[in-house]
């Protein structure tokens, strides 16, 4: 039996193409949704662009007939605008003038009049709760969802290899079919290894013997940049060795790097260190600049109204980048902050020379980015559409680095399954052009307190 899907405005704002994602079922847009789209069509940034795209899709379908009666779509489904059910009664505490409640009226009215399964699709959790209170089924928009954080691709794995094969690792590498893991019963199982996945290989007769490698064309090969010290930084754990390998690889080999990890695992610090190594310490000519962006939903929407030029507008968001640069420019922790003006002058020079540049994420929309070492910090606050837009903007010789923690999302309507970082990670898994690594809580290097807090508090939901 065909279903009726009623779409909330926030679904179209995040994914304009959502109208066409419900197979051969009926898609209904309450009239209030069109009004809300109209209110946002001139918005700046991604929201306005997505609203305008949704309006264009509706207009194209409108040319197929009367939207109030329903028009056919290419997938066999229909789209209809619903302007009725104003008199449907809701619980007295729900205001009739609120847009969300007008959508609920349409859902309830359709359910009572059509005797069909009506499903409200919304990103708003509270609206889903209210729908349940009036016996209306409600769902999140799942087309862009990936698996939960604990099941997402980590880019790394521990395996075992027979002793005789392990001895040949540095010379020949190890074919992936010759390593194994153990299941819950202790039986040997051949793991599924993806291209560019990082591997810790254990000798099965001597567990203290380990080697680190990366999967390349069916063979686990030793790390190429294991002995590097970018900008004087030395890896302190396996995760950082893998991170260094991914960042040091040239853009021709690894144009996309995706790094997931908690605060304090040195994601941003290490990314800047490698960029400065290639731009300052050992100029290779690979890149002409380091470009840093940090998505922020409120900032992206309001940047046009903030005082000053672009750099002055984005400087508050870029303070964490400056903090990391200060540590890299002056590695002596005891002397670093004795002369604040001198330290500030050194960091200013990095920006004045154009070695490091910062831009708002919405300012790079529609551009082709060439020969650039591009760091997207806090990438978990991107939408899937933004992640796709960034990755597809990569021009010749550009390396894109997505950094973030899927458990620390500040943007409304995004979660660990629908954010752009997780979306890119799952869809780029196994790509020969993408290196990925997830850094564990035990690899936190910020401070003893930070590491202790992560261990004690990471599984406790304090805020929501």
Local confidence band at 393 (pLDDT 50, 70, 90 cut-offs) = confident
Tell me the two tokens of residue 306: 């903030």
Local confidence band at 463 (pLDDT 50, 70, 90 cut-offs) = very low
The helix (run of H) or strand (run of E) holding residue 426 is: helix 420-427
How many helices (H) and strands (E) the chain has is answered by: 16, 19
Burial category of 118 from C-beta neighbours within 10 Å (exposed 0-12, middle 13-18, buried 19 and up): buried
Work out the average pLDDT over 51-70. Answer: 95
Partners of residue 120 on adjacent β-strands? 6, 138
CA dihedral over 291, 433, 407, 129, signed as positive or negative: positive
pLDDT exceeds 70 at position 220: yes
Cα 123 to chain centroid distance, Å, stands at: 17
- Domains along the chain? 4-139 (3.40.50.1010), 146-222 (2.30.130), 237-457 (3.40.50.300)
For the stretch 328-342, pLDDT in tens is 887 655 555 666 788
Work out the average pLDDT over 18-27. Answer: 94
| DSSP helix/strand/coil, 446 | coil
For the stretch 305-320, pLDDT in tens is 444 555 565 666 678 8
Work out the average pLDDT over 366-388. Answer: 89
Work out the average pLDDT over 18-40. Answer: 95
Work out the average pLDDT over 343-367. Answer: 82
Match 């505490």 to its residue by tokens: 93
Work out the average pLDDT over 23-44. Answer: 94
What are the C-alpha distances in Å from 219 to residues 173, 258, 394?
A: 6, 22, 28
pLDDT confidence of residue 157: 96
pLDDT exceeds 70 at position 76: yes
Work out the average pLDDT over 448-458. Answer: 70
pLDDT exceeds 50 at position 457: yes
Residue 450 has, within 13 A of its CA and on its CB side, a CA count of: 12
For the stretch 121-158, pLDDT in tens is 999 999 999 999 999 999 999 887 887 777 899 999 99
**Length of the chain in residues, anyone?**
464
Burial category of 312 from C-beta neighbours within 10 Å (exposed 0-12, middle 13-18, buried 19 and up): exposed
pLDDT confidence of residue 411: 84
Local confidence band at 456 (pLDDT 50, 70, 90 cut-offs) = confident
Work out the average pLDDT over 3-23. Answer: 94
Percent over 90 (pLDDT), the chain: 59
Q: Is 269 left (phi over 0), alpha (psi -120 to 50) or beta?
A: alpha
Burial category of 184 from C-beta neighbours within 10 Å (exposed 0-12, middle 13-18, buried 19 and up): exposed
pLDDT exceeds 70 at position 300: no
SS3 content of the chain, % helix, strand, coil (to 5): 40, 20, 40
Q: How far apart are CA 167 and CA 169, in angstroms?
A: 6
Structure letter (DSSP) for residue 188: E
Q: How far apart are CA 62 and CA 303, in angstroms?
A: 34
Q: How many CB atoms sit inside 10 A of residue 196's CB?
A: 25
Partners of residue 6 on adjacent β-strands? 28, 120
Q: How far apart are CA 433 and CA 398, in angstroms?
A: 12
Of 7-11, 155-159, 254-258, 404-408, which range is least confident? Answer: 404-408
Of 229-238, 290-299, 395-404, 451-460, which range is least confident? Answer: 451-460
């Amino acid at each position: 039996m065909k279903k009726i899907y009623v779409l909330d405005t926030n679904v179209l704002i995040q994914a304009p193409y959502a109208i066409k994602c419900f197979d051969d079922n009926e898609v209904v847009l309450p009239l209030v949704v069109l009004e809300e789209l109209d209110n946002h069509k001139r918005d700046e940034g991604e929201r306005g662009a997505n609203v305008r795209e949704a309006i264009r899709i509706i207009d194209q379908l409108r040319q197929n007939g009367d939207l109030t009666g329903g028009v056919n779509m290419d997938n066999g489904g229909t789209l209809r605008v619903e302007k009725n059910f104003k008199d449907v009664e809701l619980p007295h505490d729900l205001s009739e003038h609120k847009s969300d409640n007008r959508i609920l009226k349409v859902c309830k009215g359709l359910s009572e009049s059509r005797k069909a399964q009506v499903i409200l699709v919304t990103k708003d959790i509270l609206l889903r709760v209210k729908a349940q209170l009036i016996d209306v089924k409600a769902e999140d928009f799942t087309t862009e969802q990936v698996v939960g954080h604990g099941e997402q691709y980590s880019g790394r794995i521990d395996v075992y290899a027979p002793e005789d094969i392990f001895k040949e690792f540095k010379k020949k590498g190890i074919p992936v079919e010759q390593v194994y893991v153990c299941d819950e019963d202790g039986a040997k199982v051949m793991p599924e290894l993806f291209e560019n996945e990082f591997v810790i290989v254990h000798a099965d007769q001597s567990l203290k013997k380990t080697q680190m490698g990366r999967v390349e064309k069916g063979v686990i090969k030793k790390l190429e940049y294991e002995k590097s010290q970018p900008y004087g930084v030395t890896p302190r754990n396996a995760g950082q060795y893998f991170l260094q390998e991914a960042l040091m690889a040239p853009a021709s080999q690894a144009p996309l790097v995706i790094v997931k990890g908690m605060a304090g695992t040195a994601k941003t610090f290490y990314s800047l260190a490698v960029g400065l190594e290639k731009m300052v310490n050992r100029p290779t000519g690979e890149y002409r600049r380091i470009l840093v962006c940090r998505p922020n939903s409120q900032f992206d929407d309001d940047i046009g109204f903030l005082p000053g030029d672009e750099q002055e507008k984005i400087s508050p968001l870029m303070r964490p980048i400056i903090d990391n640069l200060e540590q890299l420019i002056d590695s002596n922790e005891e002397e670093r902050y004795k002369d604040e003006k001198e330290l500030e002058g050194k960091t200013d020079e990095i920006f004045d020379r154009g070695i490091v540049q910062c831009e708002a994420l919405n300012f790079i929309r529609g551009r082709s980015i060439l020969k650039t070492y591009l760091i997207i910090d806090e990438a978990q606050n991107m939408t899937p559409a933004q992640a796709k837009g960034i990755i597809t903007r990569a021009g010749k010789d550009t390396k894109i680095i997505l950094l973030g923690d899927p458990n620390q999302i500040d943007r409304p309507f995004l979660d660990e399954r629908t954010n752009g970082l997780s979306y890119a990670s799952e869809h780029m898994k196994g790509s020969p052009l993408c290196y990925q690594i997830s850094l564990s809580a035990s690899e936190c290097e910020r401070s003893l307190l930070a590491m202790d807090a992560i261990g004690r508090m990471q599984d406790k939901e304090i805020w929501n």
